[in-house]
Amino acid sequence: MKKLLGFFFLMFTVTCLKAQNCNCGDNFAFLTQRISKNYVGYTDKITPSNSKQFAKFTDSLQQIANRSNAYQCLSLCREWLDFFKDKHLAFGMAFDELNADSVRTFFSDEEKTKWTDSSFKSYLLQNKAKLDPVEGIWSTGIYEVGIVKDIKPNQFIAFVLKADSVRWMPQQVKFRIMKKGGQYQTIYFSGGDHSEQHPALIKNADTLDFGFFKKWVKVPKPLNATIEKEIDLSPKFRVLNDETAIFEMPSFGKLDYVAPTAALIKKNESVLKNMKHLIIDLRNNSGGSVLVYEKLMPYLYTNPILKEGGYVLATAENIRDGYSKEYPEVSDSIRNVLKKNLMTLKAHEGELYKLYPVDTIKFNTVYKNPERISFLVNKNTGSAAELFLLEAKQSKKVKIYGENSSGTIDYVEVITTKMPCNFYTLYYPACKSFRLPDYPLDNIGIKPDVEIPDSVTDWIDFVKNHQSK
């Protein structure tokens, strides 16, 4: 009976996969059509000078897509989107919205090794004296892989020992690395959706650092609890000393952090008005909603601040998928603004419409404190966080520290679209800045006033003690 139920469940999952259209050729054609009609940057990026090259490129990928499977389609669609060099264009899988068994089936053909948990641990025990330093069990705190010599000289494979058992199953190959001149290099790293990535690898004793793809620590060395747990992206405020406080803002998470940020500012109002130096940490803040930082603007203010405007490409699809959404968690005033924008766009359907006019921010009061405001910015600071920087840097109180920001700011307000295959989700922006074409910032970023040297590990301490000039 159990075998019969298992067979029925497997057939049900396969049937669900077939019920939707996961033909790669059809999905690629849908992608190209959707972007050409609805991506606000399309006519800026595809010009008479490159249109023939682009058409040939698109046609060649369409031919490959026509004979590719659903799994291969992920990287193929991303390759096409990469032509636009816009970090707001993305193609992926919304795992939270997908059935777990369907996801497992989708990735069931992923490369696997014959190593098992028990055979690998026996290998480590029997060869303890002659193992390469990288061989062993490595963990992020949630994921666990075994790294072992491959049959290819100087190469090692990392296979899953423990994972979420949905996207990643035991024995699937997570990444491959190479040893060259005593140093380890990434051959490839498979992301959460199994897409091939090539992050730089830094090995420091018993830690493998893949940057965005986490730090992996060798077991049985005790794991640092901060390596990987549920990431807390909520805003935080703390006092560092008698003169300095820090506002950590790791995300503007769409509209999710508007209320908690406003509450935190209100709670610490007296501290903000009496603290000489305020550090605003925007490192790794990839954006979201500009409404999150609005309540901080009075503390930055010294003179009228120009707020850049934007055009929205008001196609029927963009209005439906991007501007018709309801946000029950926001205030009535914000909800009314969103409704007004929706009605305006519907009245101008088919136009590249000036939804956001250039505006000037003015306040009646210039606060004495904070006297000095320092922004911490790195290459992962993008989108709405960069809009914050463009406004803030107009204040005489503000200096930006760190490195160039991401450069994800010319085309914003991302639309989320389901593809014919429900496993895929397409993301693209519908709004573009009035700065274009004269002052582009995409892939350039905002340059800091003070660059923090690579040798500095504690950026907060550096800024806290830096003498503003």
DSSP symbols for 140-198 = -SS-EEEEEE-SSTTEEEEEEEES-SSS--TTBEEEEEEEETTEEEEEEEE-TT--EE-
Handedness of CA 86, 91, 95, 98 (dihedral sign): positive
pLDDT surpassing 80 at residue 17: no
Average of per-residue pLDDT across 208-234 = 72
Average of per-residue pLDDT across 392-408 = 97
pTM confidence score: 0.80
Lowest-confidence range among 107-121, 217-231, 291-305, 381-395? 217-231
Q: How confident is the model at residue 72 (pLDDT cuts 50, 70, 90)?
A: confident
Element (DSSP H or E) covering residue 76: helix 73-81
pLDDT score, position 192 = 86
pLDDT score, position 225 = 40
Average of per-residue pLDDT across 77-99 = 90
Taking the C-alpha atoms of residue 313 and residue 345, their distance in angstroms, rounded to an integer, is 9
Q: Are 304 and 361 in contact (CB under 8 A)?
A: yes
Taking the C-alpha atoms of residue 88 and residue 91, their distance in angstroms, rounded to an integer, is 10
Q: What share of the chain has pLDDT > 70, as a percent?
A: 93
Taking the C-alpha atoms of residue 50 and residue 66, their distance in angstroms, rounded to an integer, is 24
Q: Are 39 and 428 in contact (CB under 8 A)?
A: yes
Q: How confident is the model at residue 325 (pLDDT cuts 50, 70, 90)?
A: confident
Looking from the CA of 63 toward its CB, the CA atoms found within 13 Å total 5
Q: Is 268 exposed, middle or buried (0-12, 13-18, 19+ CB in 10 A)?
A: middle
Average of per-residue pLDDT across 104-126 = 92
Greatest CA span in the chain, whole angstroms? 78
pLDDT surpassing 60 at residue 429: yes
Q: Which tens digits make up the pLDDT trace of 294-307? A: 999 999 999 999 99
Phi, psi dihedral angles at 354 (to 5 degrees): -80, 80
Taking the C-alpha atoms of residue 160 and residue 143, their distance in angstroms, rounded to an integer, is 8
Q: How confident is the model at residue 377 (pLDDT cuts 50, 70, 90)?
A: very high
**CA 265 vs CA 238, 301, 332, 449: distances in Å:** 11, 15, 20, 26
Taking the C-alpha atoms of residue 366 and residue 364, their distance in angstroms, rounded to an integer, is 7
Q: Which residue has the higher pLDDT, 142 or 292?
A: 292
Element (DSSP H or E) covering residue 312: strand 310-313
Q: Are 214 and 227 in contact (CB under 8 A)?
A: yes
pLDDT score, position 255 = 79
Q: Are 29 and 70 in contact (CB under 8 A)?
A: no
Q: How confident is the model at residue 50 (pLDDT cuts 50, 70, 90)?
A: very high
- Of 346, 347, 345, nearest to 312 (Cα)? 345
> Which amino acid appears at position 310 of this protein?
G
pLDDT score, position 8 = 34
pLDDT surpassing 70 at residue 230: no
Q: Are 322 and 39 in contact (CB under 8 A)?
A: no
- Of 242, 234, 249, 239, nearest to 280 (Cα)? 249
Q: Are 419 and 426 in contact (CB under 8 A)?
A: yes
Total H helices, total E strands in the chain = 14, 22
Q: How long, in residues, is the chain? A: 469
**CA 455 vs CA 3, 114, 432, 458: distances in Å:** 60, 43, 37, 9
pLDDT score, position 253 = 83
CA angle 20, 22, 25 (to 5 degrees): 135
Q: Are 161 and 123 in contact (CB under 8 A)?
A: no
- Which residues in 94-130 are b (16+ Cβ under 10 Å) and which e? eeeebeeebbeebbeebeebebeeeebeebeeeeeee
Taking the C-alpha atoms of residue 23 and residue 70, their distance in angstroms, rounded to an integer, is 6
Please spell the DSSP secondary structure of 444-464, one letter per residue: T-PPPSEEPPTT---HHHHHH
Average of per-residue pLDDT across 174-188 = 95
Q: What share of the chain has pLDDT > 90, as a percent?
A: 74
Q: Is 28 exposed, middle or buried (0-12, 13-18, 19+ CB in 10 A)?
A: buried
pLDDT score, position 221 = 52
Domain ranges of the chain: 16-92, 117-219, 236-314+351-409+445-465
pLDDT surpassing 60 at residue 4: no
CATH assignment, 236-314+351-409+445-465: 3.90.226.10
Task: Supply the mean pLDDT for the chain.
Answer: 90
- Of 45, 51, 39, 55, nearest to 88 (Cα)? 39
Most confident of 24-28, 198-202, 329-333, 419-423: 24-28
Extract the tokens encoding 166: 């949905």
pLDDT surpassing 50 at residue 278: yes
pLDDT surpassing 80 at residue 229: no
Average of per-residue pLDDT across 234-241 = 95
